[in-house]
Amino acid sequence: MTSSTRETRTVQAMHAIDRLTGAVIPPLHTSTTYARDADNALIGAQDYRRPKGPTEQQAAQVLAMLDDGADARLFSSGMAAIAAVLESVPTGGHVVAQTEMYYGARGLLQRALAKKRITLNLVAPGDLDALTAAARPATDLIWIETPANPSWAIVDIAKAADIAHAVGATLAVDSTCAPPCTTRPLELGADIVMHSATKYLNGHSDVLAGALVTRKSDTRWDEICEIHNKTGAIPGAFETWLLLRGLRTLHIRYARQSGTALWLAEQLAADTRLAAVHYPGLPGHPGHDVARRQMTGGFGGMLSVELAGGFEAARRFAAATKIFIQATSLGGVESLIEHRKPVEGADSPVPDALVRLSVGLETPADLLADIDQALAAAAATSKE
């Protein structure tokens, strides 16, 4: 089995046929506690469900295999996974992150800064000179996100890892929008990869979960495992089982979503109703060359457009689609659309006219026709 591809092993959930029953589909283990024999020895490998029962164990093994890591842990959400990494930073430790990143994670960092738990520098994603200047011997953690929400700026992971390691810092990568079927940050030198499994990994918008995968079992990882166990932010067994089910089709979903998003971006690139189209698969995107090297399985299903008509046009456009559902989140089989600025708030660096699209599995031509009619509707209303 070991010579088969990651895809093959994922499709078969690592060939985990249940020995007890022969079931081809992994069983769902809901027990929180595990029995001992007459000698008080555990009958199986577990004693208690926190931090992980057999279902979580199996999903974590698939994730560690996919990301080529030494170990993986599942969390109750992506935010809980990020919080565990942040908690592992010693009090007063220096953190470098991005001006543009998932706004929930930025908020968590700013909260730790306000409470004087950490010191913090934010640099523009992809600006390696700024990253080099910000990193110093006291830096404990460099946190990058690539592609970065919501302009999909690309960070060169291998170069960021060199910068981090030159000062003895840990490089953690939020790879939510570049799952392991396209990018494996640990192979590029990152120390920890984080996923909101709520997004592409599960892919069906019905599970909230997060994951961390480590390149090596070092003291930082021991600390994170301790935090995971002591704070107990673990997903439910059923959520984990659904995640395992979703993972088995990840590469197929992601390839189709990437193909459709690239085609849509190409069709929209010259549309005069749009001031900008942000997609790393377009040759004009500033991170395109790095993305071609780093996103080997596709540029993803996320693209953003900026309406030429500004904030109001963006608001009308996002409200006028009939197939794209106006909702937050990303990576599910159904296409979503979101006017981002009102979601993130006035202090967000996101442009007023930016609309974020999460491309799903619908027929590409239907999606283009929907965007076209919504752009027309947004323009028509503006002339009234």
Ligand X SMILES: *Cc1c(COP(=O)(O)O)cnc(C)c1O
Q: Which residues of this chain interact with ligand X, rule CB under 6 A? A: 77-79, 102, 104-105, 145, 149, 174, 176-177, 196, 198-199, 208, 210, 330
Annotated catalytic residue within 6, 34, 50, 292:
50
Contact partners, residue 248, CB within 8 Å, separation at least 6: 10, 11, 12, 13
Q: Work out how close the CB of 268 gets to ligand X at its nearest, in angstroms, rounded to a whole number.
A: 22
Q: Give whichever of 201 and 375 is closer to ligand X, judged by the CB atom.
A: 201
Catalytic site includes residue 140: no
Dihedral angle over CA of 331, 338, 334, 366, nearest 10? -120
Residue 90 beta carbon to ligand X: minimum distance, rounded to whole angstroms = 23
Options 67, 140, 156, 174, the catalytic residue? 174
Q: Kindly state the smallest distance separating residue 7's Cβ from ligand X, in Å.
A: 24
Report the residue number whose CB is nearest to ligand X.
78
Instruction: Tell the smallest beta-carbon distance from residue 176 to ligand X (Å).
Output: 4
159: annotated active-site residue: no
d(CA 300, CA 152): 10
Residues with Cβ < 8 Å from 80, sequence gap 6 or more?
Answer: 210, 231, 233
What totals of helices (H) and strands (E) does the chain contain, helices first? Answer: 13, 12
Q: Please identify, using beta-carbon distances, which residue of 208 and 323 lies nearer to ligand X.
A: 208
Among 49, 52, 67, 103, the one annotated catalytic:
103
Closest separation between CB of residue 328 and ligand X, Å?
A: 9
List the Cα angle 302/206/45 in 5-degree steps: 110
- Write the DSSP symbol of residue 90: P
Instruction: Say how far apart CA 193 and CA 168 lie, in whole Å.
Output: 17
Known catalytic residue at 256? no
Q: Which residue's entry shows tokens 């009308």?
A: 316
Alpha-carbon 255 to chain mean position: 16
Q: Which residues are within 8 A (CB) of 82 and not within 5 positions of it... i.e. 6 or more apart?
A: 104, 105, 108, 174, 194, 210
Rounded CA separation 16/7 (Å):
14
Q: State the Cα–Cα distance between residues 227 and 246, nearest whole angstrom.
A: 27
* Closest to ligand X by CB, 243 or 274: 243
Residue 50 annotated among the catalytic residues of the structure? yes
User: Helix, strand or coil for residue 217?
Assistant: coil
Residue in this structure with the two tokens 């996919």, named with its chain if needed? 66
Cis peptide before 150 (omega within 30 of 0): yes
Residue 302 Cβ vs ligand X, minimum distance, rounded to whole Å: 9
Identity of the residue, 67 or 174, whose beta carbon is nearer to ligand X in the bound complex: 174
Query: Residues 184, 199, 215, 316: which is the catalytic one?
Result: 199
Output 78 or 126, the one with its CB closest to ligand X. Answer: 78
Nearer to ligand X, 233 or 318 (CB): 233
Closer Cβ to ligand X, 53 or 78, answer by number: 78
Cα distances (angstroms) measured from residue 53 to each of 6, 28, 32, 230: 23, 10, 8, 15
CB of 31 to ligand X, least distance (A): 25
User: Which residues are the active-site residues?
Assistant: 50, 103, 174, 199
